[in-house]
């Protein structure tokens, strides 16, 4: 009798043990990711010592953040670790950058001790800083990588992006196969070099904008996609014309819709390659990306981040019926979107009705997409159940830090998580109290 009792007790203890473990694991899994971005060049001087990293990672942990995004490939195309493929960042704005320890490696070591995850961010289709004339496009004899743009003009003049000094990113033509191989090697290398890395987040996986890319290479690749040669280039796609007020507009050619469909296919196919490369090295690593949230105009940069279950041609006149096939939401493990708006609620937007023009936009936009609440509401529709994490550009709230608090709360309430870009803005304007208030009232900090 005693033996039977003991067996029953042992069985109940084992069942209870596994039940508790499963509940605990579920609770951890269900914690919404809250990411703080640490830009490479903006923070390299301050964060290039272990004590500073320790201090801020501990602070972020206390504030309820779950992930640190460590930028290791800025737009200059340099890296913040020793690489076989790309140059190390050794100087920035006239100051020498010294490495007395493994920069990314120490973030991983310290963060993991605190229970934080580390995502490495890499700028993708950019390889030079246009303001400083630095990076592989300038220094490495790779000028042919630079995207060719067709800026608004009447005489049809194509120029290299390196001539557009009003743009700081020397963007690359995404269809360039030599460059694709180069950047995929870097992705593979970082996953091999840092096996404890939790994830990578690709930034600038896009075309420069509406005006790119009009190189001979892109023309040939597009003709292959069409299965026929163009009669007129760029007229078969579009031609800049002036309206009665003297403003340029693109007069659409017969392959306008197919052009944007093809550009989206270039980005989709690359994302599939990139995922395959990193997962072959480490199947458990998170594959993620950052993109602007403004989907109504994001076709301008060749990106369809929606689910394939969403058909944008039903809502937008720039989408062909086949455009939806280039939706890449299902390729992603972690998706951060830039809800970079100072208007937070739909009610506020409808009252103020501001026109918004984001970094990649050719024209200003108006709709409830362009507030945090409206953006997340629409994103849920086009992503069809795929999770996304609302992003905040902290320097937009320098003059209204209380707005940072409200944006944090709204993103936590209406998206699946949070990303703040960038820690330098929080530090330099001392907005920590507003971050803490947003995190606390948004439920990210338990009492």
Is pLDDT above 90 for 398? yes
Report the pLDDT averaged over residues 300-313: 98
The model's pLDDT over 179-199, given as tens digits with 9 standing for 90+, comes to 999 999 999 999 999 999 999
Is pLDDT above 70 for 345? yes
The model's pLDDT over 117-148, given as tens digits with 9 standing for 90+, comes to 999 999 999 999 999 999 999 987 899 999 99
**For residue 24, what is the enclosing H or E element?**
helix 2-29
pLDDT at site 141: 83
Place of tokens 């023309």: 219
What CA–CA distance (Å, rounded) separates 161 from 163?
5
What CA–CA distance (Å, rounded) separates 74 from 203?
9
The model's pLDDT over 228-262, given as tens digits with 9 standing for 90+, comes to 999 999 999 999 999 999 999 999 999 999 999 99
> Residue 447 — pLDDT band, cuts 50, 70, 90?
low
What CA–CA distance (Å, rounded) separates 393 from 316?
27
Report the pLDDT averaged over residues 271-295: 98
Contact 89, 82 (CB under 8 A): no
What CA–CA distance (Å, rounded) separates 157 from 248?
14
CA angle 392, 395, 396 (to 5 degrees): 70
What CA–CA distance (Å, rounded) separates 207 from 266?
10
Is pLDDT above 90 for 16? no
Strand 169-171, strand 91-92: pairing: unpaired
Place of tokens 């180069």: 182
3-state per-residue secondary structure call for 82-143:
CCCCCCECCEECCEECCCCCCHHHHHHHHHHHHCCEEEEEEECCEEEECCCCECHHHHCCCH
Q: Is 176 helix (H, G, I), strand (E, B) or coil?
A: coil
Is pLDDT above 90 for 26? no
What CA–CA distance (Å, rounded) separates 39 from 36?
10
- Max mean pLDDT among 7-16, 162-171, 427-436 falls in 427-436
For the chain, list the domains and their CATH numbers. 34-138+169-207+258-441 (3.20.20.80)
> How many Å separate Cα 354 from the centre of its chain?
25
Gyration radius (Cα) of the chain, Å? 24
> 103-114 and 50-62 helices cross at what angle (nearest 10)?
30
């Amino acid at each position: 009798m005693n033996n039977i009792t003991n067996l029953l007790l042992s069985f109940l203890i084992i069942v209870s043990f596994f039940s508790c473990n499963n509940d605990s694991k579920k609770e951890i899994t269900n914690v919404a990711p809250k990411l703080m971005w640490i830009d490479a060049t903006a923070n390299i001087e301050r964060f290039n010592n272990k004590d500073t990293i320790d201090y801020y990672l501990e602070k972020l942990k206390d504030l309820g953040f779950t992930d640190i995004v460590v930028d290791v490939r800025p737009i200059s195309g340099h890296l913040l670790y020793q690489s076989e493929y790309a140059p190390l960042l050794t100087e920035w704005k006239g100051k020498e950058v010294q490495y007395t320890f493994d920069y990314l490696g120490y973030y991983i070591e310290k963060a993991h001790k605190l229970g934080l995850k580390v995502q490495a961010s890499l700028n993708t289709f950019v390889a030079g800083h246009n303001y400083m004339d630095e990076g592989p496009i300038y220094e490495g004899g790779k000028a042919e990588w630079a995207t060719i743009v067709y800026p608004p003009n009447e005489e049809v003049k194509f120029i290299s992006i390196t001539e557009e000094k009003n743009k700081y990113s020397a963007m690359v033509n995404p269809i360039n196969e030599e460059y694709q191989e180069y950047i995929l090697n870097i992705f593979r290398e970082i996953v091999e070099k840092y096996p404890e890395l939790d994830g990578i987040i690709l930034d600038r996986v896009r075309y420069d904008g509406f005006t790119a890319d009009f190189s001979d290479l892109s023309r040939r690749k597009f003709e292959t996609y069409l299965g026929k040669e163009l009669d007129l280039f760029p007229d078969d796609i579009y031609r800049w014309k002036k309206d009665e007020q003297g403003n340029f507009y693109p007069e659409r050619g017969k392959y306008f819709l197919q052009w944007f469909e093809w550009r989206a296919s270039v980005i989709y196919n690359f994302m599939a390659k990139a995922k395959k490369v990193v997962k072959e090295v480490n199947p458990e690593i998170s594959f993620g990306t950052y993109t602007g949230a403004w989907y109504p105009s994001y076709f301008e940069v060749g990106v369809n981040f929606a689910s394939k279950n969403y058909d944008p041609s039903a809502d937008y006149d720039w989408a062909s019926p086949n455009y939806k096939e280039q939706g890449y939401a299902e390729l992603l493990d972690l998706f951060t979107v830039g809800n970079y708006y100072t208007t937070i609620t739909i009610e506020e937007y409808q009252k103020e009705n501001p026109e918004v023009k984001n970094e990649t936009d050719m024209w200003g936009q108006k709709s409830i997409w362009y507030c945090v609440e409206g953006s997340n509401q629409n994103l849920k529709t086009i992503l069809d159940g795929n999770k996304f994490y609302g992003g905040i550009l902290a320097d937009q709230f320098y003059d209204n830090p209380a707005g940072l608090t409200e944006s944090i709360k709204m993103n936590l309430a209406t998206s699946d998580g949070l990303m703040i870009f960038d820690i330098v803005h929080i530090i330099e304007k001392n907005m920590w109290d507003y971050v803490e208030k947003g995190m606390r009232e948004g439920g990210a900090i338990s009492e």
